[in-house]
């Protein structure tokens, strides 16, 4: 062996060793044993695929039916989330979504179409139960990407959307309970049937919740699209907008690589452009699951002190979802216990998400 050949062999050995060490370091930081549970394994070339947050397990059947009938991939995922937006029993989106602190439902949504790389979104939209459909029209019929508030409502009216009161009786009861339990010293009292003692003050306010549905898909030809729709943080300050209608945060699609979306604390996603980052990790060769975990680790590392628990970990929930152009899919959440829905062309099912922390 010549000196030149010996040097090349030495370099290859060093490079291989460094790669192994780097992989080991990543595995030590993330519970890889839970990152790819056997049921969540996905294989390249397994198209078409639809993935969503767990509340879309029924809706993704509709998306898959449309994909098999050769519908446009964006039309398919929007039709899927419309089912959830129309469900008054789901308090996370559309009709029945939980209101802002004034008792008014404000909805956000975004869509992105892989083949054209076009996107549309609406934020703080009132009185229209299907913001995802309005977002698609923003993409198709304007030179803009995002319309908000009164402008979004005027645009929806111009295209024939009917206004309605989105605050259902169930959502109203939850809002009133929140108002009544905010303080022991204000003038809001619980009803007799809800109070632990007649006319007592509630000891603690209700837990505030996040709620969203994300749905992304790849069809048999490898074309991709995604949609995210939400009523946002329950009892938020009027006008608050989270990550869902922001392209690159709550949703991102690159037809050459993959699609990603999110549910959970929108502010954390906004500060880290999570969906864009997931797609870029996939571009660099990470699996969908590992891309989601990598972004969660980044978010955890950058979380400000006031949002950390006593053990230093983030004090909020966050779930990320991804599908690659070749049909691989995955999801990860900040803490163990979340799940996601997927349809691989054969059946729809709910799988456990990978997680960053126990």
Question: What amino acid positions are annotated as catalytic residues?
Answer: 212
Q: Which of 287, 255, 218 is nearest to 64 (CA)?
A: 218
H or E stretch covering 285: none
Burial of 357 (0-12, 13-18, 19+ CB in 10 A): middle
Phi, psi values for residue 354, rounded to 5°: -65, 165
Compute the distance between CA of residue 40 and CA of residue 318 in angstroms, rounded to an integer.
19
Residue with tokens 């006031």: 306
Compute the distance between CA of residue 249 and CA of residue 228 in angstroms, rounded to an integer.
10
- The CA–CA distances, whole Å, from 245 to 91, 242, 336 equal 18, 7, 26
H or E stretch covering 272: helix 266-272
Residue with tokens 């009861």: 173
Contact 218, 113 (CB under 8 A): no
User: 351: which 2 tokens?
Assistant: 């799988």
H or E stretch covering 118: strand 118-125
Q: Which of 247, 254, 245 is nearest to 291 (CA)?
A: 254
Q: Which of 344, 356, 348, 284 is nearest to 319 (CA)?
A: 356
Compute the distance between CA of residue 116 and CA of residue 249 in angstroms, rounded to an integer.
19
Compute the distance between CA of residue 119 and CA of residue 106 in angstroms, rounded to an integer.
20
Contact 270, 247 (CB under 8 A): no
Compute the distance between CA of residue 71 and CA of residue 48 in angstroms, rounded to an integer.
12
- The CA–CA distances, whole Å, from 30 to 277, 329, 339 equal 18, 18, 18
Burial 271-303 (b: 16+ CB within 10 A, else e): ebbbbbbbbbbbeeebbbbbbbbbbbbebbeeb
């Amino acid at each position: 062996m010549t000196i030149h050949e010996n040097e090349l062999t030495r370099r290859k050995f060093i490079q291989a060793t460094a790669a192994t060490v780097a992989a080991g370091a990543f595995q030590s930081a993330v519970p890889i044993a839970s990152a790819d549970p056997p049921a969540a394994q996905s294989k390249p070339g397994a198209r078409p695929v639809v993935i969503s947050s767990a509340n879309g397990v029924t809706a993704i059947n509709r998306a898959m039916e449309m994909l098999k009938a050769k519908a446009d991939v964006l039309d398919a995922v929007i039709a899927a989330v419309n089912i959830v937006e129309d469900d008054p029993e789901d308090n996370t989106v559309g009709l029945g979504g939980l209101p802002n602190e004034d008792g008014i439902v404000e909805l956000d949504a975004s869509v992105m179409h892989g083949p054209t790389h076009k996107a549309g979104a609406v934020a703080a939209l009132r009185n229209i139960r299907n913001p995802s459909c309005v977002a698609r029209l923003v993409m198709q019929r304007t030179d803009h990407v995002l319309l908000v508030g009164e402008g979004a409502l005027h645009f929806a009216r111009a295209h024939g959307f009917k206004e309605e009161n989105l605050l259902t009786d169930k959502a109203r009861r939850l809002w009133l309970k929140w108002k009544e339990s905010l303080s022991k010293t204000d003038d809001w009292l619980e009803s007799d049937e809800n109070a632990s003692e007649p006319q007592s003050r509630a000891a603690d306010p209700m837990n505030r919740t996040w709620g969203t549905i994300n749905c992304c898909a790849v069809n048999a030809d490898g074309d991709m699209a995604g949609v995210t729709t939400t009523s946002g943080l329950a009892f938020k300050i009027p006008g608050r907008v989270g990550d869902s209608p922001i392209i690159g945060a709550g949703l991102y699609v690159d037809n050459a690589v993959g699609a990603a979306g999110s549910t959970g604390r929108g502010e954390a996603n906004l500060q880290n452009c999570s969906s864009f980052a997931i797609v870029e990790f996939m571009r660099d060769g990470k699996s969908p699951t590992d891309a989601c975990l990598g972004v969660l680790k980044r978010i955890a590392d950058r979380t400000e002190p006031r949002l950390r628990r006593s053990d230093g970990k983030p004090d909020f929930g966050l779930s990320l979802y991804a599908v690659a152009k070749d049909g691989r899919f995955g999801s990860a959440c900040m803490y163990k216990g979340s799940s996601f829905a997927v349809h691989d062309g054969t059946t729809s099912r709910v799988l456990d998400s990978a997680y960053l922390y126990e």
